[in-house]
Chains A and B, each alone.
Chain A
Amino acid sequence: MADKKRTPSGDKKLNHATSMPNLHKKLVRPVSANRNPDTSRKEKELPSLPKLRVDGRHLSAVPRPQTFRPTGSGQSTPLKTSPVRHQPKLSISESVDSYNLSVIDMYHDAASIVSPTTDVFQSLMKLGIHGYEDDFTDNYSSSSVSVADSPRPRVHADDFHFTDHSPSRPHFTDQSLTNLPYLFPSPTNLLFHQSQSNHILHSSPGRLLGSHSTLSLLSSRDSANIIRNSIELSKTSLSASRDRYGFKKKSQFVSEAAYNAWWSDYSKYLVRRKRKWELLMKQSGLTYEHDAPVRFPARSEKVKRYIRKGIPAEWRGHAWFHYARGHEKLAQNAGVYDAIVASTIDLHNKDTEIIERDLNRTFPDNLHFRSDETQQQRETETPLVQALRRVLVAFSQHLPTIGYCQSLNFLAGMLLVFMDEERAFWMLVIITQKYLPGVHDLNLEGVNVDQGVLMLCIKEYLPEMWARIGLGLDGEKLTDGNLLVRLPPVTLCTASWFMSGFIGVLPFETVLRVWDCIFFEESKTLFRISVALFDMVSPEVTQIRDQMEIFQAIQNFPKKIINPNELFDHCFKKRNGIGHYLSQEEVNKCRDFVSKQRRSHAENAKMYVLDGEGERLYDFEHRKGLNSVAWNKNLTLKMKRLRKSD
């Protein structure tokens, strides 16, 4: 709709300077000249918006921005006027535990919305947990910027009062740490969405209000929010068979015991990282009330390091949305999603047919997508499955060049675990346009291009691995001339890494860490992680001769990486970590190059077979400080040579 005419949101940069006077000037990227003045006005408004009062009574009478409202600051229609709010669809109650039910109950009573949880929140804030030290042993920073160089906003000692190690602080044993409910139900999550729903209902009464299906749609949307309240550490006590997202801990490659052994350590790491993030937010002048921060620190080396070490799980939805420029996208398209959903309720076509078949095959091992307790429960659709249907159908209508492509179900399903469906929808749009361009298109050319880029990366950076996998089906060596057209068989496996953003490839917690980076550091992350995986599996692969066994080893290896830090340590290791030298610029250029090569091959309807053994079509020249002019010149020369030899 209107969205298509606008500048892709990904090209714009929000300016957070207004809210972070402490931050070093250098790190605030310049505001582009043609920035939408409307957006900039709204941005300026943000810091001055009154905060949601947490005394449990006062939620309204706040002037609201015109198009979008961040969590915790928006106007809220008095609760009693909402038909939705008082009819929470409780079908999910069959699959969630009593803890969540009590959360739902809470929302029946406006007066109790905030105070009880706030009390818990504040008292838990006072808990002191050790583990601050690792900030200085960080090895995920870019090699070019030392820790000392990174800007540390000056923070007054008073700023730390909330983490003060007071003697009255309860003492936590290791066991209690594992079970510590340090993530809290965030009423603002629910409030945000509901107030937004109300906003939609009020702003376009003719179209949406009174439509029965829309009402039931909104109510089930609200129930979908519940999952985000269950992402707390206590939900993964060592005795449970599922993780805090509702997935079974046990997989074909990881036993429950192995999971628990890892989790008892990793959960402590998460507690430490959460404390770090809270400090960072404080230092950046940002709030995280009710554990639902809307704005996040502007880009800096420090923030990058923090992101590589993982965003707190309960902040992820907001953080991803923020760094992927979701707010802009949503602001430009207010109401668009609901309109698409309303117009596609009865849609039946080739895409919806496949969507229907995939709904139950998205996260069948997740409680919130399919309960497997009884036959009857299996056949009852969960609210999240219903939301998934709406998002995928709406998407297939909104971007007809993609329509529905299998694997989008995993991306959308993952997003729905962390955000409401309207945001999940726009994130899916952003992901398929910005981070995975063309990857899900009708001819999947984008994924073939990315596999070409990945293979060139392996060839360049892991020559020993390339010697093993850079072979055709019959074991013949692929040449520079044909490798981009006749991609090695292993790309059948790596294609799914890209298409589904590593979902189902890496264990869930590990996928989350990769996604944290993608939205902050863009698509180079996918290539860095892929190359790191190849590097890690390399010792195993060099022991194998058979091509198919190599394929299988590469396919299965990622599924065993239960500890995300293992992968990240490898990717960003100080010496020769791939994370330090494969830049976005290089990836973009390489994508361009591979795409052109494949196009020209297709146009000529024949394969280039170059006889010159040493002929290289693409050189990685990061060591020479490659600039685009040099690269283009380089490429032009090569193309000339190619044409001659043809």
Chain B
Amino acid sequence: MSSRKKTLLKVIILGDSGVGKTSLMQQFVNKKFSHQYKATIGADFLTKELPIDDKTVTMQIWDTAGQERFQSLGVAFYRGADCCILVYDVNNAKSFESLLAWKDEFLIQANVSLPETFPFIVIGNKIDIDENKRVVSYKKAAQVCQQLGNVPYFETSAKDGINVEEAFDVVSRNALQQEEANDEFNDDYNDAINIHLDGEAGNCTC
């Protein structure tokens, strides 16, 4: 499409504390898992170059702190995001219930131009843990994601590296699409005051 020197895709990972946001990012970027990740304070990001079809893009992945109050820190960096990954822990019902709140929070803070078409992706993490401990079934999760507006859903294990690559592949493709579409709305998202939310996000009232 438009001629760009370098395609930068900005991706934000959100979700409750302890669901494995840092682990997912590390697994995708560095192909490793550690038992020694510390709780994330503030925000952190990693970048990764990856090929999409015939072009190479740089993906900039932002890892965030999961505790609610960290939303009071500068969440300005949500703006200009091309995709948002919502993570929950399949063994933790509460983290699943928070998904909608995280989605709404993101839409408010990021001030995206067309909330209904903005690409989200939901990841149910920690499927490596004992099946008996699992509290959110695939069926239930898939159903909710449909209600959220046909959001793609993946189940992963950041620990064992299961499905992580696949999930991020969809992330990168959807993000690229969004980035290209974003160009047309460039004027809009420079305007911090203008929040297009009221009444527009009709499809996420589940």
Query: Residues on A close to B: CB < 8 A?
Result: 353-354, 357-358, 361-365, 370, 372, 378, 405-407, 409-410, 441-445, 447-448, 472-474, 486-487, 489, 491-493, 495-496, 499-500, 504, 548, 551-552, 555, 606-607
Q: Output the nearest chain A residue to B47 by Cβ-Cβ distance.
A: A548
Is the CB of B73 closer than 8 A to any CB of chain A?
yes
Q: Is residue B77 within 8 Å, beta carbon to beta carbon, of the partner chain?
A: yes
Given A364-B38, A365-B36, A499-B42, decide whether A442 and B69 contact each other with a Cβ distance below 8 A. Answer: yes
Residue from the list B42, B47, B69, B79 in contact with A473, Cβ < 8 A: B79
Contact B76 A357, beta carbon cutoff 8 Å: no
Assuming the contacts A364-B37, A492-B42, asked whether A405 and B73 have C-beta atoms less than 8 A apart, the reply is: no
B143 at the interface (CB under 8 A from A): no
List 13 A-B residue pairs with CB atoms under 8 Å apart, sorted by A's residue number.
Answer: A354-B67, A361-B18, A361-B37, A364-B37, A378-B35, A406-B41, A442-B69, A445-B72, A474-B190, A491-B74, A492-B73, A496-B41, A606-B193
Residue of A nearest to B94 (CB): A353
* B45:A552 contact, CB within 8 angstroms: yes
- Please, which residues of chain A bring their CB within 8 A of the CB of B43? 492-493
CB distance from A465 to the nearest CB of B (A): 18
Q: Considering the complex, give the chain B residue whose CB is closest to the CB of A491.
A: B74
Q: Are B35's CB and A357's CB within 8 A?
A: no
Residues of A near B35 (CB, < 8 A) are 364, 370, 372, 378
Cβ-defined contact, A496 with B18, below 8 A: no
Instruction: Indicate if the CB atoms of A406 and B77 lie closer than 8 Å.
Output: no
Let me know if A473 and B38 touch, CB within 8 A: no
Q: Contact partner of B80 among A409, A445, A474, A552, CB < 8 A?
A: A474
| Sample of 13 more A-B contacts, CB < 8 Å, known A357-B39, A489-B76 | A354-B67, A358-B17, A370-B35, A407-B41, A409-B39, A473-B79, A474-B80, A474-B190, A486-B192, A493-B42, A499-B41, A552-B45, A606-B193
Given contacts A406-B65, A555-B44, contact A443 B38 (CB under 8 A): no
A492 proximity list for chain B (CB < 8 A): 42-43, 73-74, 77
A242 to chain B minimum Cβ distance, whole angstroms, is 13
Residues of B60-78 contacting chain A, CB below 8 A = 60, 65-67, 69-70, 72-74, 76-77
- Chain B residues with Cβ below 8 Å from A496 are 41-42
Using a CB–CB distance below 8 Å, which chain B residues touch chain A? 17-18, 35-45, 47, 60, 65-67, 69-70, 72-74, 76-77, 79-80, 94, 190, 192-193
Chain A residues contacting B60 (CB-CB under 8 Å) are 548
- Give the distance to chain A from B26, nearest Cβ to Cβ, in Å: 11
Q: Is the CB of A473 within 8 A of B77?
A: yes
Contacts of A551 in B (CB 8 A): 45
Nearest 5 pairs between A and B by C-beta? A357-B18, A364-B36, A496-B42, A496-B41, A444-B72
Q: Is the CB of B39 within 8 A of A362?
A: yes
Majority SS of interface residues in chain A?
loop
**A487 pairs with B38, CB closer than 8 A:** no
Min distance, Cβ B62 to any Cβ of chain A, angstroms: 9
Chain B's interface: helix, strand, loop or mixed, by majority?
A: loop
Bound-complex Cα distance A486 to B192 (A): 10
Q: How far is B18's CA from A128's CA once the two chains are assembled, in angstroms? A: 51
Chain B positions within 8 Å of A474 at CB level: 80, 190
CB-defined contacts of B44 to chain A, threshold 8 Å:
555
CB-contact partner of B17 in A357, A372, A500, under 8 A: A357
Question: CA of A370 to CA of B38 in the docked complex: distance in angstroms?
Answer: 12
- Which residues in B have their C-beta under 8 angstroms from that of A552? 45
Check B79 against A444 for contact (C-beta < 8 Å): no
- Chain B residues contacting A370 (CB-CB under 8 Å) are 35-36
Can you name the residue of chain A whose Cβ is closest to the Cβ of B37?
A361
Complex: A487 Cα to B75 Cα, angstroms: 10
Cβ 8 A contact of B38, one of A354, A362, A447, A493: A362
In angstroms, Cα B73 to Cα A441, docked, is 12
CB distance from B23 to the nearest CB of A (A): 11
Q: Is the CB of A372 within 8 A of B36?
A: yes
B77 touches A489 (CB 8 A): yes
* Distance in angstroms between the alpha carbons of A354 and B42 in the assembled complex: 16
Output the residue of A473, A486, A606 with the most chain B CB within 10 A.
Answer: A473
Q: Which of A362, A405, A409, A555 contacts B69 (CB 8 A)?
A: A405
Whole-angstrom distance between the Cβ of B22 and the nearest chain A Cβ: 9
Chain B: minimal CB distance from A75 (Å): 41
Set of chain B residues within 8 Å of A448, measured between Cβ atoms: 72-74
A489 x B41 contact (CB < 8 A): no
| Contact (Cβ within 8 A) B72 A443 | yes
- A472: chain B residues within 8 A (beta carbon): 76
Closest chain A CB from B112 CB (angstroms): 14
Query: For residue B73, which residues in chain A have a CB less than 8 angstroms away from its CB?
Result: 444, 447-448, 491-492, 495
- Beyond A362-B39, A409-B39, A489-B76, whether A443 also contacts B45 by CB under 8 A is no
Q: Which residues of B contact A405 (CB under 8 A)?
A: 67, 69
* Nearest opposing residue in chain A for B8, CB measure: A548
Q: How far is the CB of A241 from chain B (nearest CB, A)?
A: 14
Distance, CA A358 to CA B80, complexed state (A): 31
Complex alpha-carbon distance, A607 and B76, angstroms: 14
Instruction: Tell whether, in the assembled complex, residue A406 and residue B45 are in contact, meaning their CB atoms are under 8 Å apart.
Output: no
Query: Cα distance A582–B65 when bound, in Å?
Result: 31
In-complex Cβ contact of A504 among B38, B69, B76 (8 A): B38
- Cα A325 to Cα B110 in complex, Å, equals 44
Bound: A381/B35 CA distance, A: 15
Cβ–Cβ < 8 Å partners of A353 in chain B? 94
Give the complex CA separation of A56 and B60 in angstroms. 63
B76 near A406 (CB under 8 angstroms)?
A: no
Question: Is there an interface contact between B69 and A444, defined as CB atoms closer than 8 Å?
Answer: yes
Assembly CA distance A333 to B42 (angstroms): 33
Most buried by B among A353, A492, A496: A492
Task: Tell me how far the C-beta of B160 lies from the nearest C-beta in chain A, rounded to whole angstroms.
Answer: 15
Nearest-CB residue, chain B, relative to A403: B69
Q: Is the CB of B37 within 8 A of A406?
A: no
Complex CA–CA separation, A606 to B69 (angstroms):
22
Q: How far is the CA of A357 from the CA of B47 in the complex (A)?
A: 27
Q: Closest CB of chain B to A349's CB: distance in Å? A: 12
Q: Give, as a whole number of angstroms, the nearest-CB distance from B11 to chain A.
A: 13
Within the complex, the shortest CB–CB distance from A487 to chain B, in Å, comes to 5
Chain B nearest CB from A473 CB (Å) reads 5
- CB pair B36–A443 under 8 Å, yes or no, is no
A406 near B70 (CB under 8 angstroms)? yes
Central interface residue in A372, A407, A409, by most chain B CB within 10 Å: A407
B38 with A361: CB separation less than 8 A: yes
**B115: shortest Cβ distance to chain A, in Å?**
19
Complex Cα gap A551–B44 (Å): 10
Q: What are the residues of chain A within 8 A of B70 when measuring CB–CB?
A: 406, 444
| Cβ-closest chain B residue relative to A500 | B41
CB distance from A609 to the nearest CB of B (A): 10
By a CB distance below 8 angstroms, the chain B residues around A489 are 74, 76-77
Bound-state CA distance A353–B66 (Å) is: 13
